[in-house]
Structures are given as C-alpha cells and as structure tokens.
Structure 1
C-alpha cells in the first residue's frame, strides 16, 4: 500500500460517520477498558482523537501521537504506545497496515474495527507474528474466538454431554443449511465438526455483509479459496494458535486485494 494523505485511505473506514465510530468505541471500551493500563488508555484515546477526520482511520506517525500526549500534559513513552497497539491488535480493535514510499517502508495506517459482540470477540492469545500478509499490508489474525465466559459454558456443556453417550460430538452432517454444501464438504475433510464449519462460514458472512454486489457464488468462491490458503499455510508449517483468527486475516486480505484490483482497473 502506497503512503499518502489521510484522504487516500477513506475506503478503509468501517464506519458511516463520526457518530457511528464513537458509538462503536463506547461499546469496545465497555469490554476492553480494563485490559489496558492507565498509560495505555491515554495512548489509545489519543489515537481515537486522531482518527476523526476519516472516521476510524489514522495515518499519523507514532512519534506525532506520543508528542501530542506530552503537549496535553499526559506523558507516555513510545514503548507504552507500541504496547497499547499490540493489545489493540490482539483484541481485534485495530488493524494496522504498512505503507511504502519509494520502495521503503513509511508510516503505518491504523484502522479501527466495528464492535464485535461477545460471542464473536477477539482472543487475546493470538500471536501478532502469525499475521497474514498481502501486498505489503499486515493484519493481525483479528478474530473470532469465543470469550472466556462462552468457553466456560461450552466446557460445562461438553462435560454434561460426556455423561450421556446418546449425545456424541456432532459431525459435519449436522451443519446448518445456511452453510453452502460446497464449503461444508471441503471443510469437513479437515474439521469434521459442525461448530467449526459454521464458524468459518460466519466469518465469510460478516466480512461480506456490506458488499452488496457479492452473490452467493462469490461468497462460496471466497470461502473456498480462503480455506484452501489456510490449509496450505498450516501444511507448510505455519503455527496457528487460533484458526478462526487466522482465517479472518486471510479473508480480509483477499478482499483488500480484490478492492485494489478494482481501483486500479477503474483508474
């Protein structure tokens, strides 16, 4: 992605307007405020303020943001800001894109994400080094692991079902009919579990819900290609702690690449 002014990155915004952005941030903070230290919250709030011109998008340098905190009488270090960014990426709050100018890496672009409800919240254990990469843009494997509360519920359910042999683990044949057969049959070769198959398809649904030009066949093609990329990377030795987070990153990067092709064709 080429470096440029903030207007160049309008297409990355996830929000209708500034009010929509602020509403999503309020929801995020209810869940995540306690996850950040006092200094990290200062850094995060400063980044939010710098993301107002284009709702949810900021391309300021880290040093500029740190200096702005100092000017406001809130002294934080660069390492504190970077630590905040690592946490924000792991929680799925922010996606960071690298930009390049004259063949050299330039400043980053920070893109806030829409609030995800608790049952599709971000795991805090995802390794940032396991990000997907495409066209020089890195994205944390944003996504989709159940919250601790949901995990506890699942564990209790698993324990309950283990007491009754008539409730075995449900395989792919129990997958919801909302999941296309083509995708179900592919995934079941590797994960013969209806929950996992439905979770993979949920990611496709969330990622494409605003793409009104996308047909069902387009979604199926995206899902199949993304899943094949996931399997290929794992087979080649990629260590993935969260398959759903990694899958989300692959899907998102494929959509970004498609968007850039469309922009280039129209130019």
Structure 2
C-alpha cells in the first residue's frame, strides 16, 4: 500500500460514531487491559487519541506518537510504544499495514482498530440492578456452542479447533471473577469474553487465508 493522507484510509474504519469507537476500545481493555503495563497504557491512549479524525485509523509516524506521550506522567520510550503495538496486534485489538513510498522503500505504518463489540452484546448484558455475581453453573459445552455460533465461523472451521480459545475464555472469566472485577452477572461476561476471543481468532484465520 502507498503512503498518503489519512483521508485515503477512510475505508479501513470499522466505526460509524465516536461513541462506538470508544465503546469498542473499552471492551477490548476490559478483556485484555491486564496485559499492558502503565507505560503501554499511556501509549495505547495516545494512539486512540490520534485515531479520531478517521475513526479507528491512525497514520501518524511513530516518532510523533512517542513525542505526544512525553507530556503524560513523564513520558515513555519508543521501545515501550513499539511493545504496546506488538501486544495490541497479537491480541487482535489493532491491525498494522506498512506503506511504501512511490520512490520505493517503507514509509509510515497505518494502525487500524478492530471492533470488539458484538451484535449480540445488548442481549448478553445483564440488568444493572443485579446485586451479586454468581459463579457459572451452566453446562460448559452448551456455553461453548453458543460462543462458537455467535462468531459465525466458516463451515470448514470446527468447534474442536477453537477449544483452546474457549478454555482460555473460561479461565479468564473465572480469574476476573475471583479478582472481583466483574460488576455484572458472570454469565453475560463469559459469553461476551468468549464471543470476542473467538471473533479475534476468526479474523486471524481469515487474514492468514487471504495471503
């Protein structure tokens, strides 16, 4: 892809409104926030701020992004910013496209935020007045089937291939429950976590097959 102005990357935006963009990022951090250090969270927040002109897309050069971090709690190093990018990419939060100059050679990168909210989210969100979260008691196989179907995998991808991801979703939910980080009932949280992790895996599989 050739380098250029931010407007030429508008087609990569996955968000119609700023509210949707912020909501998706909040959900991503609810699930994966513990993987980032304080410095990496500063880097993530700055990248988010630079991804508003075209929602969820940033083409600023990395030195400019690092420079923007310097006024926030003492700033961070370039290596910290690059580490955040690697983590965010590996977790499926962002995609990175490397552009090239017309004269040849690499130019700036384009950072694209992926959606982390799901179509069924409103149905899965529990009532705000729920007083106490309860540990999951429903049959795990049934829950896995629901999460698998909600991700809408191609017919060639069986649920068996996704078992490591499904198990990870259960473990992550139990961990957050024990840490008292779940403010709603646990089952909607589990479904949401599973759906998001499976959606990330689906994106990775589609990207691998497209190359």
Q: Place the TM-score, normalised by the shorter chain, in its bin.
A: 0.5 to 0.7
Structure 1 residues 191-247: Cα deviation after superposition (integer angstroms, max 9, x where no partner):
8xx425899xxxxxxxxxxxxxxxxxxxxxxxxxxxxxxxxxxxxxxxxxxx85652
Which secondary structure state, in structure 2, belongs to the residue aligned with residue 115 of structure 1? Answer: coil
Query: Residues 6 and 250 of structure 1: is their aligned pair in 2 closer, same or farther, counting only changes over 3 Å?
Result: same
2:206 paired with 1:248: yes
| 1:109 equivalent in structure 2 | 110
- Contact 1:14–1:113 (8 Å) recurs in 2: yes
Structure 1, unpaired ranges of 5+ = 118-148, 158-175, 200-242, 255-267
Once the two structures are superposed, the pairs formed by residues 68-87 of structure 1 within 5 Å of their partners are: 68-87=68-87
Equivalences for residues 1-267 of structure 1 within 5 A = 1-101=1-101, 102-115=103-116, 153=140, 187=156, 194-196=158-160, 246-250=204-208, 253=210
Higher relative contact order (CA 8 A, sep 6+): 2
User: Over aligned residue pairs, what C-alpha RMSD do you find?
Assistant: 3.1
Asked if structure 2 preserves the Cα contact closer than 8 Å seen for 1:42 and 1:74, the reply is: no
> In the TM superposition, what is the alpha-carbon distance from 1:44 to its structure 2 partner?
0.4
Q: Secondary structure at the match of 2:115?
A: coil
SS at structure 2 position matched to 1:98:
strand
CA–CA separation in structure 1 for the residues paired with 2:77 and 2:116: 28
Secondary structure (helix, strand or coil) at the match of 1:44 reads: helix
Q: Please name the residue that 2:132 is paired with.
A: none
Provide TM-score, normalisation by structure 1: 0.48
- After superposition, what is the alpha-carbon deviation per residue over 1:2-59, rounded to whole angstroms, capped at 9, x for unaligned? 1001001000001112121011111111111111000000000000000011100000
Runs of 4+ in 1 over 4 A off after TM superposition: 196-199, 243-246
Q: Say whether the 8 Å CA contact 2:24–2:117 is kept in structure 1.
A: no
Residues 196, 103 of structure 1: alpha-carbon distance in 2 compared, 3 angstrom cutoff:
farther
1:126-177 deviation digits (Å, cap 9, x = unpaired): xxxxxxxxxxxxxxxxxxxxxxx9xxx56xx9xxxxxxxxxxxxxxxxxx9x
Partners of 1:25 and 1:115 within 8 A in 2 = yes
State how far apart, in whole Å, the 1-side matches of 2:85 and 2:161 are. Answer: 31
Please, which moves more after superposition, 69-78 or 11-20?
Answer: 69-78
Q: For the residues of structure 2 that align with 1:11 and 1:79, how far apart are their CA atoms?
A: 30
Shift of 1:79: 0.5
* Counterpart-to-counterpart distance in 2, 1:29 and 1:66: 21
Work out the CA distance in 1 between the residues paired with 2:24 and 2:64: 25
